[in-house]
């Protein structure tokens, strides 16, 4: 069998594994959230709050969708014309066209081009979140965080690019196999590394002071059978007024993290309710599920890229001879951008299912639907969430059930509906 035939067979096997794993690990049943309860919950929210939240999201949309559209156009121009190959050559020229320089610096050049072009939209978003009182950052702090984000992305991207093109350079016929294994391994590694090494780049974490709230959270985790190493407070207030909490890390690195804004804005019972939701993710292994799905999906993407990259028409448009050469970085990113855009609604759908299960976990663990509903109202109010977003936007990008869905789920639970 030829490498291409092996790749096609492996792709089919991985797609079957991905489908089977998703079928058994994703919660396809959602807790009931009757539409009548959603409308009743919406009617109880202050009208001015709902109007302000909708104004906020209307103000964000031009920047969000503008960045998405311009970013896609730039990716297609760099990938479906020789422009991307030219940028890679330009990056490698000071180093004599060395393939390592082309792979790493060329890849970063191409990626940075998209970041720079969409930078005005990011600035637009910042002005909106500041105007509506969500962000507490000035332009200086915002710029520092942006540079940190670019730096972290550059480090991860450089490692990925060097690894990928080392494989394509030394195994030009079988790089799809080694690349699929390497990409899947990188996804798994990042699941462990990011919470420990990357989160502290953007926030300062301090242990929560001993007291009733800390004791309640530790007791809640113990009762749920989810061991945690510590309860930390993140200094989120230096950049935002939004409230949140989460459970971070895997195994020995797992810890409960509460925004300092959550402590000041919410009642202790509401903090407990949010953490109960987050413990649900840990209890049901959602991070592990996401990691496995991500690893399988990434391996599938590498092999699909290899098969699609033999299409002579695409190679001719990009002005390259093979998808496995550094000069084809633009073409690779264009394919990935289109695939990501098409896969977005499916990913959002799966995420909503997982989040709904975590909501149900919180209701069962605390046995307090009234506080859960109050907590959702608080989150929506402080974070300026649209409580009942347009259907088209919900289906395309909503990673969580809407505020009124979650409030309705609490009401249904209180009536004994499961």
List the catalytic residue out of 278, 373, 388, 405. Answer: 278
Is 355 marked within a binding site? Answer: yes
| CA gap 413, 332 in Å, rounded | 47
Is 222 tagged catalytic? Answer: no
| CA gap 101, 237 in Å, rounded | 40
Q: CA-CA distances (angstroms) from residue 54 to 112, 188, 380?
A: 33, 38, 11
List the catalytic residue out of 260, 270, 286, 359. Answer: 359
Is 325 tagged catalytic? Answer: no
Is 277 marked within a binding site? Answer: yes
- Which residues are part of the catalytic machinery? 278, 359
Q: Which residues are annotated as a binding site for Zn(2+)?
A: 277, 281, 355
């Amino acid at each position: 069998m030829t490498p291409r035939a092996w790749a096609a067979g492996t792709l089919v096997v991985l797609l079957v594994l991905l489908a089977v794993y998703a079928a058994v690990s994703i919660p396809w049943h959602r807790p009931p959230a009757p539409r009548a309860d959603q409308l009743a919950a919406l009617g109880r929210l202050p009208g001015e709050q709902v109007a302000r939240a909708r104004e906020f999201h209307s103000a964000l949309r031009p920047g969000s969708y503008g960045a998405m559209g311009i970013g896609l156009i730039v990716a297609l121009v760099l990938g479906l014309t020789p422009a991307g190959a030219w940028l890679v050559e330009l990056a490698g020229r000071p180093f004599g066209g060395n393939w390592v320089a082309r792979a790493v610096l060329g890849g970063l050049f191409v990626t940075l081009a998209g970041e720079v072009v969409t930078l005005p939209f990011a600035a637009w978003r910042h002005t909106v979140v500041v105007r509506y009182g969500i962000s507490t950052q000035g332009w200086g702090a915002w710029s520092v965080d942006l540079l940190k984000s670019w730096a972290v992305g550059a480090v991860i991207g450089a490692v990925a690019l060097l690894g990928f093109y080392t494989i394509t350079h030394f195994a030009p016929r079988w790089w799809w196999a080694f690349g699929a294994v390497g990409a899947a391994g990188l996804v798994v590694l990042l699941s462990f590394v990011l919470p420990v090494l990357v989160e502290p780049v953007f926030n300062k974490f301090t242990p929560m002071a001993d007291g009733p709230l800390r004791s309640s959270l530790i007791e809640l985790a113990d009762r749920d059978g989810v061991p945690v190493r510590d309860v930390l407070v993140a200094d989120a207030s230096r950049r935002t007024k939004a409230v949140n909490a989460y459970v971070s890390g895997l195994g020995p690195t797992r810890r409960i993290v509460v925004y300092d804004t959550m402590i000041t804005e919410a009642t202790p019972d509401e903090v407990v309710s949010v953490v109960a939701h987050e413990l649900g993710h840990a209890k049901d292994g959602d991070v592990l599920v996401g990691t496995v799905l991500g690893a399988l999906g990434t391996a599938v993407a590498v092999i699909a890229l290899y098969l699609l990259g033999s299409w002579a028409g695409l190679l001719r448009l990009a002005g390259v001879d093979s998808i496995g050469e550094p000069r084809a970085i633009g073409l690779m990113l264009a394919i990935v951008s289109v695939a990501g855009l098409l896969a977005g609604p499916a990913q959002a759908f799966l995420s909503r299912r997982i989040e709904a299960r975590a909501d149900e976990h919180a209701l069962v663990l605390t046995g307090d639907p009234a506080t859960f509903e109050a907590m959702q109202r608080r989150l929506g109010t402080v974070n300026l969430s649209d409580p009942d977003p347009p259907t088209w936007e919900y289906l395309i990008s909503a990673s969580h059930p809407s505020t009124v869905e979650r409030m309705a789920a609490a009401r249904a639970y209180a009536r004994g509906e499961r």
